[in-house]
A and B are shown apart, each in its own frame.
Chain A
Amino acid sequence: MPLVEVVNLVKHFERGGGLFARKTLLRAVDDVSFSIEAGETFGLVGESGSGKSTIGRCMLRLIEPTSGHVRFRGEDVLSFDRTRMRAARRDMQMVFQDPYSSLNPRMRARDIVEEPLAIHRIGAKAERRERVAELFRLVGLDPAHLERYPHEFSGGQRQRIGLARALALNPSFIIADEPVSALDVSIQAQVINLLLDLQDRLQLTYLFIAHDLRLVRHICSRVAVMYLGKIVESGATASIFAAPQHPYTRALLSAIPATDPDAPRQRIELDPALVRPETPLREVGPGHYAAV
Chain B
Amino acid sequence: MTAAGTGAAVDRTDEVLLSVEHLTTVFDIPGHPVVAADDVSLQIRRGETLGLVGESGSGKSVTAFSILRLLQSPGRTIRGRVVFQGRDLLPLPEREMRNVRGAGIGLIFQEPMAALNPVMRIGHHIGEALLVHGMATRREARARAIDLLRAVRITEPEKRVDDYPHQLSGGMRQRVMIAVALACRPPLVIADEPTTALDVTVQAQILELLREMKRQFDLSLLLITHDLGVIAETADRVAVMYAGRIVEHGPVRDIFRNPLHPYTQGLIDSIPGQSAGTRLQAIEGVVPNLAALPPGCTFAPRCPHRMPVCTTAVPALVDIEPQHAARCYLHSDRTEPSQDSAAALASATRAR
A259 touches B232 (CB 8 A): yes
B286 interface contact, C-beta 8 A: yes
| The one of B201, B207, B226 that contacts A251, using a Cβ cutoff of 8 Å | B201
A186-B55, A189-B281 known; A261+B253 contact, CB < 8 A: yes
Contact with A along B127-142 (1 / 0, CB 8 A): 0000000000000000
Contact string against B for A residues 252-292, beta-carbon threshold 8 Å, 1 for contact and 0 otherwise: 10111111111101010110000000000000000000000
Which of A78-86, A105-113, A123-131, A211-219 touches B? A211-219
A residues in contact with B278, CB < 8 Å: 196, 218-219
> A228 near B: Cβ within 8 Å?
no
Q: Which of B228, B233, B266, B273 contacts A265, CB < 8 Å?
A: B233
Residues of B within 8 A of A186 (CB): 55, 263, 266-267, 270, 282-283, 287
Q: How far is the CA of A156 from the CA of B283 in the complex (A)?
A: 12
Q: How far is the CB of A166 from chain B (nearest CB, A)?
A: 21
B280 pairs with A189, CB closer than 8 A: yes
Does B270 lie within 8 Å of A217, measured CB to CB? no
Instruction: Out of A218, A256, A262, A269, name the residue touching B229 (CB < 8 Å).
Output: A256
Write the B173-201 contact mask toward A (1 if CB under 8 angstroms, else 0).
Answer: 00000000000000000000000000111
The answer to whether B284 has its CB under 8 Å from any CB of chain A is: yes
- Contact between B273 and A260 (Cβ–Cβ < 8 Å)? no
Which B residues are in CB contact (< 8 Å) with A193? 279-280, 282
Contact with A along B226-258 (1 / 0, CB 8 A): 111110110000000000000000001100100
A251 to B202, CA, bound (A): 10
Q: B55 to chain A: which residues have CB within 8 Å?
A: 184-186
Q: Does B78 contact A (CB under 8 A)?
A: no
Which residues 17-61 of B have a CB within 8 angstroms of A? 55-56
A192 located at the interface, meaning its Cβ lies under 8 Å from any Cβ of chain B in the complex: yes
Q: Are A190 and B233 in contact (CB under 8 A)?
A: no
A170 sits at the interface (CB 8 A): no
- Kindly state whether residue A47 has any CB partner on chain B within 8 Å: yes
Which residues of chain A come closer than 8 Å to B274, judged between CB atoms?
A: 259
**Any B CB within 8 A of the CB of A118:** no
State whether A257 and B232 are in contact (beta carbons under 8 Å apart), knowing that A185-B226, A214-B272, A218-B280 are contacts in the complex: yes
CA gap between A257 and B199 in the complex, in Å: 12
Q: Report how many residues on chain A are interfacial, defined by Cβ distance under 8 Å.
A: 39
Contacts known (A185-B228, A262-B253, A267-B208); A217 close to B273, Cβ less than 8 A: yes
Q: Whose C-beta in chain A lies nearest to the C-beta of B203?
A: A255
Known A184-B226, A256-B229, A261-B232; contact A267-B204, beta-carbon cutoff 8 A: yes
Question: A188 in the interface, Cβ–Cβ < 8 Å?
Answer: yes
Complex: chain A residue closest to B242, CB-CB: A186
CB distance from B90 to the nearest CB of A (A): 30
- Interchain CB contact under 8 A, B273 and A218: yes
Q: How far is the CA of A211 from the CA of B200 in the complex (A)?
A: 8
Nearest chain B CB to A283 CB, angstrom units: 26
In the complex, what's the smallest C-beta–C-beta distance from A161 to chain B, in angstroms?
A: 14
User: Is A54 in the interface zone, CB < 8 Å from B?
Assistant: no
* CB of B237, distance to nearest CB on chain A (Å): 11
* B286 engages A154 (CB within 8 Å): yes
Chain B: minimal CB distance from A252 (Å): 6
Check if A259 sits within 8 Å of B256, measured CB to CB: yes
B273 and A214 contact, CB distance less than 8 A: yes
What's the Cα separation between A230 and B296 when bound, in Å?
Answer: 53
Partner of A255, one of B200, B256, B267, B270: B200
B268 is an interface residue with CB less than 8 A from chain A: yes
B271 within 8 Å of A (CB atoms): yes
CA distance A213 to B253 in the complex (A): 24
- CB pair A214 B271 closer than 8 Å: yes
Are A47 and B227 touching (Cβ within 8 A)?
A: no
**Distance A254 CA – B205 CA, assembled complex (angstroms):** 11
Partner of B272, one of A217, A252, A263: A217
User: Can you list 7 residue pairs at the A/B interface with Cβ under 8 Å?
Assistant: A47-B202, A186-B270, A188-B270, A214-B273, A255-B201, A258-B233, A259-B274
10 closest A-B pairs by beta carbon, nearest first, are A257-B229, A189-B282, A218-B272, A47-B199, A255-B204, A189-B280, A184-B55, A186-B283, A189-B270, A190-B282
